[in-house]
Structure 1
Amino acid sequence: MNVICATLNAKYIHTNLAIRYLKAYAAPEFNIQLKEYTIKDPILNIVSDLYQQKPSIIGFSCYIWNIEETLKVVNMLKKIEPSLLIVLGGPEVSYDTAEWMEKVPEVDFIVMGEGELTFKQLLAEIQSDQNYDQVPGIAYRHDRKVRMTLQRNKLDLKEIPSPYRFPEDIAHLGKRVTYIETSRGCPFSCQFCLSSIEVGVRYFEREKMKEDIRYLMENGAKTIKFVDRTFNISRSYAMEMFRFLIDEHLPGTVFQFEITADIMRPEVIEFLNQEAPKGLFRFEIGVQSTNDFTNELVRRKQNFEKLKRTVTMVKDGGKIDQHLDLIAGLPEEDYASFKKTFNDVFEMRPEELQLGFLKMLRGTGVRLRAEEHEYVYMDHSPYEILSNNVLSFGDMVRIKQVEDVLEKYWNDHRMDATVEYLVTKTFASPFDFFQDFGSYWDEKGWSRIGHQLEDLFRRLYLFLQEINAEQLDVIVGLMKYDYFKNHKYKPRKPWWEASYDKGKRTAIYKQILETPELLGPTFFELQLDEKELYKHTMLEELSFDLSKYMLTGEVVNQASCLLAFFDPSNNQTLLFPFKG
């Protein structure tokens, strides 16, 4: 019996942990081949590759991001090989299962919920007596009718074999994200999340998990992401794991966690700020909304003041990047309320602010009670909302405009100095900047075309011109500063007209060569000759005192010069302010 467990990942760098659990649990009785593709791969290519393996059974791991493409693959495979048995599993098909079986006749079985033992038993029945009513937690067909068996009790996680040690994975560990799970379940009841359906939290055996992490690091894993829904629900457990990772990590490894910020104790943060190497950890924090009534409606307990304390302490420590999530479209959060939520969270200046939109996931409370808030949402995955009783589709479109420019101008950190000035000095609030610019961006049709780095600067400049922004000369100076700061090599043609003509530039270079100490000891130590100065530096005039800005972050209207040195020896850029 030739068995394949397959999935379509969102991107190549992702890996699927579920199919690895199935393979590990089914061994040694069944030899399972793993096949991973992406949702961008041509369907015929996927089908061709699977067909050539000559499988008798293929199991697909299904999620909102891959279900549509997966069903296209299933449909085509069944046309080619009708005797092929198709098994679906995963969160997308574990709910409304009978509906899926009726809607997709090509599917022979669906495994519901936790699938390791169920899938193994299903394979055993396929191979022997085919008494499928003896397999807990499946849907199947009998006499052209859909039958479903009761789901089994939760597994003892300590008995599940490791899914992290397949030899075929070793070559890819350094190139892809490695997902690891040390617990299952969530103690909270957020009605928009599937994790709220499972009551309680179960843990894998700690020492085995540590051994697996050691193995992954030793074999080249660089990005290890914990998929635990609330990694820090147990303070003692989190502290033990943090200590282990700090003590035994290998250089270049990064660990990512989903944490609940308002329950994290200050002493834990102080420990991390003191002990953790910079860049070792990355936190993902779901804020979702700061509207207390909205949080109450979705049964989400959140103390925003304590959350702010945690985020601020972590940020002040300078060791850990933070990714904060928002969800637009939650019950009774209208446009004005979401604007406040956005500004509340942006005030903390997270390294990344993810603006998402409510998805009415199968099995969740918000979907089951959608009529209470007049939700209109997509019939197909990802079931994103289109409107509700307080948020029109037009409001959703406007918030999507915010999301577009937020990704490009904040999360990518191309213009931190510029954006900081704009959201504090030019616009009434951060949301107002991103909304006004996002609407302009959309009106120009830029959301439908690609862009180079220079385009981002030019388009922001055009927008600022359009609105007659005050202190535009200062903003342009900050844009130049950001542009140089983020370049590792000398740009061929900047997006602006040069400040100096050839003669003025030559005169300034002559002054610098004669008195290099005017630019400070760092520049003096470079010992640049005339040829290197012309080849590896650029000059620009600014309308504010760059020296004071670099020291204090304060913008003072006093002209200065900026010399950018693009160091070819180590691909870094050094910026030197001076009076021209």
Structure 2
Amino acid sequence: MRILLIAVNAKYIHSNLAVHSLASYAAKKMKYDRTCFEIPEIEIAEYTINQPMGKILSDIYRREPDLILLSCYIWNKREIEELTFDIRKIMPLKHLWIGGPEVSFDAENVLDSMPAVKGVICGEGEETFYRLAKVYGRETECDKLDKDLADLEGIVFRNDEGEIISCEGKAPINLSDVPFPYENLSDFSNRIIYYESSRGCPFRCSYCLSSVEKSLRFRDLKLVKKELGHFLKNKVPQVKFIDRTFNCDHRHSTEIWDFLREHDNAITNFHFEIAGDILTDDELSLLESMRPGQIQLEIGVQSTNERTLDEINRPMDFKRLRQVIGRIK
């Protein structure tokens, strides 16, 4: 059985951490799972929104997948809709699944608007994808498949009769259980590396999808340092942390920044999304001691209007933020 995980990135230089995490997690779990009927071959295909859809479609067809999953974001939702519609035309017997933040939180309406799609993986996908792959490896008959899918957590799907079944709700995984997907860096030559040391966000901004997940989890710091050392050893040009608020736990952020300062290779740039007003004086002093260009900070300023901040449920000390940004500059 061949499973194809598809990413359609905004640019060639970008990569999709999600599909690589899903593939590496499932491969690790299945290696030691004696209940797997058939261990599938999991393949990753990354494209960009700038490529002709016809060329993407022909490449997908050439790979002859048995099961197709597509990663959906705000920048590629239109292209994903077009792809699923066309894939269904030329590969009518193949099941299509989608996942990602742009479809996770409104899955039933998404399925109504995308009739070619079998189901949606909602939210965090590693464990759900692993279990989904096991189901497809075991069942081929539609009635048995739908029965098994109904027992899975974290999905919304359309059964063979056209009825939409919701099986949402599942416990978050231990972030340290996700395998490191970058052992072979040759696949990421001339591309930005995306890395996460935490999941979730401490803030509850009313407009933001990151506020939907209530848990905040961290990857074990020993693992993080080992993996960052791998990037430094291989002189990766840039690593972008996708942590929603990297400095929300000061011990976590300080240990990582201190490690990077001590092991600087004079080449690699590290990008962080942070909340500027909660940076401590100790963290600022640590950042000041680092090589110019080693650290890149993305500081979100939701609003400078106190009433707006109150309405969107985002506490922020704007006076402190101004001081911090001035010192960083």
TM over 0.5: yes
Contact 1:5–1:58 (Cα < 8 Å) also in 2 = yes
Corresponding residue of 1:307:
321
Q: Say if 2:147 is the partner of 1:137.
A: no
Higher Cα Rg, which structure: 1
Corresponding residue of 2:295:
281
1:172-183 residue pairs with structure 2 within 5 A? 172-173=188-189, 175-183=190-198
Corresponding residue of 1:151:
169
Contact 2:153–2:167 (Cα < 8 Å) also in 1 = yes
Structure 1: distance between partners of 2:97 and 2:232: 33
Q: Give a deviation string over 1:134-163, Cα, whole Å, max 9, x none.
A: 110111222221111132111111222222
Q: Say if 2:109 is the partner of 1:91.
A: no
Unaligned runs of 5+ in 2: 32-38, 140-144
Q: Give a deviation string over 1:401-430, Cα, whole Å, max 9, x none.
A: xxxxxxxxxxxxxxxxxxxxxxxxxxxxxx
Deviation at 1:84, TM superposition (A): 1.2
Contact 2:111–2:117 (Cα < 8 Å) also in 1 = yes
Deviation at 1:217, TM superposition (A): 2.9
Deviation at 1:216, TM superposition (A): 2.4
Q: 1:194 aligns with which of 203, 209, 226?
A: 209
- Indicate how the Cα distance of structure 1 residues 25 and 231 shifts in structure 2: closer, same or farther if over 3 A, else same: same
Q: Say if 2:8 is the partner of 1:8.
A: yes
> Per the alignment, in what secondary structure is the counterpart of residue 212 of structure 1?
helix
Q: Given the two structures, how large is their TM-score scaled by the length of structure 2?
A: 0.92
Q: Which has the higher contact order (CA 8 A, sep 6+)?
A: 2
Structure 2: distance between partners of 1:296 and 1:163: 40
Corresponding residue of 1:569:
none
Q: 2:49 aligns with which of 29, 39, 53?
A: 39
Q: Give a deviation string over 1:11-44, Cα, whole Å, max 9, x none.
A: 1111100001110111044331111111111000
- Indicate how the Cα distance of structure 1 residues 13 and 4 shifts in structure 2: closer, same or farther if over 3 A, else same: same
Corresponding residue of 2:258:
243
> Per the alignment, in what secondary structure is the counterpart of residue 46 of structure 1?
helix
Structure 1: distance between partners of 2:265 and 2:112: 50
Structure 2: distance between partners of 1:238 and 1:118: 29
Corresponding residue of 1:504:
none
Q: 2:138 aligns with which of 105, 128, 148?
A: 128
Contact 1:228–1:258 (Cα < 8 Å) also in 2 = yes
Structure 1: distance between partners of 2:45 and 2:164: 28
Structure 2 counterpart of 1:198, one-letter code: E
Structure 1: distance between partners of 2:64 and 2:199: 35
Deviation at 1:60, TM superposition (A): 0.4
Contact 2:199–2:218 (Cα < 8 Å) also in 1 = yes
Contact 2:195–2:240 (Cα < 8 Å) also in 1 = yes
Q: Say if 2:105 is the partner of 1:105.
A: no
Root mean square deviation, CA, Å: 1.2
**After TM superposition, which residue ranges in structure 1, 4 or more long, deviate above 3 angstroms?**
none
Structure 2 counterpart of 1:237, one-letter code: H
Deviation at 1:251, TM superposition (A): 2.2
Structure 1 counterpart of 2:188, one-letter code: H
Q: Number of residues paired by the alignment?
A: 311
Q: 1:290 aligns with which of 304, 312, 316?
A: 304
> Per the alignment, in what secondary structure is the counterpart of residue 4 of structure 1?
strand
Contact 1:170–1:219 (Cα < 8 Å) also in 2 = no
Structure 2: distance between partners of 1:39 and 1:19: 17
Unaligned runs of 5+ in 1: 316-580
Structure 2: distance between partners of 1:80 and 1:108: 16
Q: Say if 2:74 is the partner of 1:64.
A: yes
Contact 1:113–1:151 (Cα < 8 Å) also in 2 = no
Structure 2 counterpart of 1:137, one-letter code: G
Q: 1:82 aligns with which of 83, 86, 92?
A: 92
Contact 1:170–1:220 (Cα < 8 Å) also in 2 = no
Deviation at 1:261, TM superposition (A): 0.7
Structure 2: distance between partners of 1:99 and 1:32: 29
Structure 2: distance between partners of 1:8 and 1:24: 19
Deviation at 1:226, TM superposition (A): 0.5
Structure 1: distance between partners of 2:232 and 2:181: 15
Structure 1 counterpart of 2:151, one-letter code: Q
Deviation at 1:125, TM superposition (A): 0.9
Deviation at 1:171, TM superposition (A): 4.7
Structure 1: distance between partners of 2:273 and 2:129: 29
Contact 2:156–2:168 (Cα < 8 Å) also in 1 = no
1:460-499 residue pairs with structure 2 within 5 A? none
Corresponding residue of 1:270:
285
Structure 2: distance between partners of 1:163 and 1:25: 9
Structure 2 counterpart of 1:25, one-letter code: Y
Q: Given the two structures, how large is their TM-score scaled by the length of structure 1?
A: 0.53
1:376-525 residue pairs with structure 2 within 5 A? none
Contact 1:6–1:36 (Cα < 8 Å) also in 2 = yes
Deviation at 1:74, TM superposition (A): 1.2
